[in-house]
Structure 1
Amino acid sequence: MLSALAADRARVADIEAQILLLEHSLLELQSEKQLAQERLDSYTYPVLMLPNEIVTEIFVHFLPVYPLYPPLTGPGSPTLLAQICREWRDIALATPALWQAISLSDRYEVPLHLRLCDMWLSRSRCHPLSLGFDEFALSSSQATDALFALIPHRARWQHLHIYALSPSRLDTLQGPMPLLRRLYLSLAKTTDPFAAQVLLRKMPLLRTVALNDAAAERLILPWAQLTSLTMRWLYPRECAPVLQNTLNLVHCELGLVNDDDEGTPDITLPALRSLTLMDHSIPGYLETLIVPALHNLRISHSFLPFGSIDTALASFVSKSSCKLQDLCLTGGRVVSQDPYRKAFPLAKISVDDGKIDVRFGIFHCHF
């Protein structure tokens, strides 16, 4: 009995000694941890030592080159930059250039993106805007909400790309757009035969326009000031009134539909340097164009008579008295380049078996 008590006392004393040692070790570890934490707290990451102006430039170069659109959320988005740390968030929110290109085109994220759109418009402050709007991806109420958010900033619109806009909403675009340089507009089809044309004016900087047939039919634009024009799915007779008023065009792309109308007048485009004719067969249309400054021609085989393509082109070049430098034949018909090299010895000749694609901003528009 006495030996058992002595053994227990000895065991308790031994445990107390171990506890003291552990407590001493714990105090040492806590002290070491505190010193390490103090060193961490005093450490400044090199990137955080950069001047705010340099960090701002890095942020801007992190995004797609304006006017292209970054994603509204996730990788590649300025929203991500604002989530890294407090310092970066402050810099991102103080940099309007990060928030000036906005696209509403993801039908699966529309409610979130509409909320983010308001935030981005506020953060962009007074900067010009590049806006992408795909009504096909929105419900009617969402499209109304999107326009309601964008219209108050009309004076800042610089690049505007609207796809599948309902004709009933076209009137909402009326009003001064003093900064607008590029307008890409696709209208949805309308069954109203009496739909009135809409005049868009007070756009002194507008130079580049791309339209589908419905938009070209409904819009009246300051054609004379344009230098670049793309139109798709128009009859030649519908193109003629527009082209006759675009004497300053430098670049032109036309996707035409054959209506068997032989009354297309000759059209002179004195400043045109680049011409693309695509899609459907329009025999004889090329001969209606007089383009003395033309250097680059990209043309579908369907515009040229089979068996005498090089002769037709030579006649066109002779009539226009232009100096062709670059000729690209498209449309999938395999041909020898030798006749073209002989007819145009100073021009670069190429054949593209694919079809010409038209891309408006981030939207891939099939008019």
Structure 2
Amino acid sequence: MADSEAREHAGSERGQARGGLILNLPIEITIQIFSFYLPPYPESPPIIGPGSPTHLLDICRQWRSIALATPTLWRAISFGSDASEAEAAEVLSWLDRSAGALLSIRLEFNRRQYWSLNGSESSLLWKTFLAARERWEYIHFEVPASFSASLSGVAPSLVRMNLIATWSDKVSNLMLDDSRRLCSLSLWNIHLTANSVAWSQLSSLTLISIEASKCLSVLPLATGLTQLKWDLEDFRFTNAPPVIRLPLLQQLILHAARPGPENNSTASRAPHCLDFLILPSLRNFEISFNIFERAQPAIVVDCIRNFIACSGCSLECLRFGQRKPAQTPGMVALADACGVAFPEVIIRAGIHNDSQSQGPPNIDCWMREEYWKAELE
């Protein structure tokens, strides 16, 4: 019994000694430990519970004091569609604790959720986000179309912005002033103009559910792009579109909501959706099969061959995708024909990788190199 008590006492002393060592660490080291506890910025931790900086507040008074005095612990905020009113109130505290730190904000604020929250609290939350716009660095907003007017303004620290709005013909034009750091922009149901942003400084651009004429007015200005995803509402242009030369573009995704025009076996060419694009640096190219599904494989092969020749690019990967639940025989035949015509190019066909989950497609997944290495189902 005495030996057991002695061992227990010794263990308690060792535990106290270790605790004392931790509490006696320099504040800078403690802050580093706290930072490693959280996801790497700009990813955001949960608002409450394990993995959240709020969890650190309950360990001891010293840690609470250090955590509350460290703005960078509170700079990455995610407020999802399943968030509670308590979490909304906590987000306001995070914004206050973040002090002058630059912010990463992911806000999924659909219409139903917005009005289900307490009206004054939800309004205060949105206004507080807007008031902090000079600290916006990484932004992902999914909001009602009625919010679009308040999105315009200065954004001097903004690096990446994803904006998804519910459909409406009353969406306001986006105008970002003083957005000198902006390099990645994704827009879904957002109205834009040639003056919306400094298009030439962008390296990555996603355009979804935006009128083709508006896209055609800004794409020639985006000469610094290395990545482009364009969901064409309708590629059957009334007038010949302007030539778009993007000298640095390496990755291109062209999706289309509607099939291409009829092309019978005697037709001389496929749809004109590639005729106006000159992309000398293109390596990876994905295109919706429904753009070509009414054309004979030989015609599509000629269309792609002409596109490669006019661009002068060295294509490495060509993917045909669709959002239907299974491959169609026509897509398989087209992929086989391209495999024969372009033996040096990796050819893949299947379901778009951003269509594997329910809800809106993952707006960012295609930007990663892993996207292009993955097989299509």
TM-score (norm 2): 0.76
Alignment of 1:66-77 (within 5 A): 66-77=41-52
Q: Is 1:327 aligned to 2:303, yes or no?
A: no
Q: 1:315 pairs with 306, 309, 319, which one?
A: 306
CA distance in 2, matches of 1:242, 1:259: 16
- In structure 2, the residue corresponding to 1:339 is in which secondary structure? helix
Report the Cα distance in structure 1 between the residues aligned to 2:180 and 2:313, rounded to whole angstroms.
Answer: 30
- Look up the match of 1:271: 248
Quick check: 1:107–1:138 contact (8 Å CA) kept in 2? Answer: no
Counterparts of 1:106 and 1:269 in 2: how far apart (Å)?
Answer: 37
Letter in 1 for 2:289: H
2:205 is aligned to 229
1:118-133 maps to which residues of 2 (within 5 A)?
118-133=92-107
Please give the alpha-carbon distance, in whole angstroms, between the structure 1 residues aligned to 2:160 and 2:63.
32
Indicate the residue corresponding to 2:29 in structure 1.
Answer: 54
Output the CA distance in 1 between the equivalents of 2:228 and 2:98: 33
Q: 1:290 Cα deviation (Å)?
A: 1.2
The letter for the 2-side match of 1:127 is A
Aligned length: 329
Q: Is the 8 A contact 1:197 1:219 kept in 2?
A: no
CA RMSD of aligned residues (A): 3.2
Amino acid at match of 2:79: L
Q: Could you list the per-position Cα deviations for residues 134-193 of structure 1 after superposition, in whole angstroms to 9, with x for gaps in the alignment?
A: 2213126444212221222221110111112333x333333321100111112233344x
Tell me the TM-score normalized by structure 1: 0.78
Q: Secondary structure at the residue paired with 1:286? A: coil
Answer yes or no: is the 8 Å Cα contact 1:300–1:329 preserved in 2: yes
Q: Which one of 175, 180, 183 corresponds to residue 161 of structure 2?
A: 183
Match of 2:281 in 1: 293
Once the two structures are TM-superposed, the CA of residue 273 in structure 1 deviates from its matched residue by 1.0
Shift in Å at residue 117 of structure 1?
1.6
- CA offsets 1:86-124 (integer angstroms, 9 cap, x no match): 333233223322210112224440x21222122111222
Tell me the SS of whatever aligns to 1:83: coil
- After superposition, where does 1:196-211 map in structure 2 within 5 Å? 197-211=173-187
3-state DSSP of counterpart to 1:349: strand
**1:176-234 superposed Cα distances (whole Å, 9 cap, x missing partner):** 21100111112233344xx6534221111111111113344798222222111101123
The answer (yes or no) to whether the contact 2:163–2:190 under 8 Å persists in 1 is: no
1:284 aligns with 2:272: yes
Which structure 1 residue ranges, 5 or more long, are not aligned?
Answer: 1-31, 363-367
Structure whose CA Rg is larger: 1
Identity %: 29
Question: How far 1:335 sits from its partner (Å)?
Answer: 1.5
Q: For residues 263 and 42 of structure 1, do their structure 2 counterparts lie closer, same or farther at Cα, with a shift above 3 Å needed?
A: closer
Tell me if the contact between 2:229 and 2:252 (Cα under 8 Å) persists in the aligned partners.
yes
CA contact (8 A) 1:134 1:165 kept: no
CA contact (8 A) 1:187 1:215 kept: no
Q: For each residue in 1:44-78, what CA deviation from the matched residue of structure 2 results, as whole angstroms up to 9, or x when unmatched?
A: 33654554433322322222221122110112211
Give the letter for the 1:73 counterpart.
I
Q: Which residue of structure 2 aligns with residue 214 of structure 1?
A: 190
Q: Shift of the alpha carbon at 1:352?
A: 3.2
Query: 1:246 aligned to 213, 222, 242, which one?
Result: 222
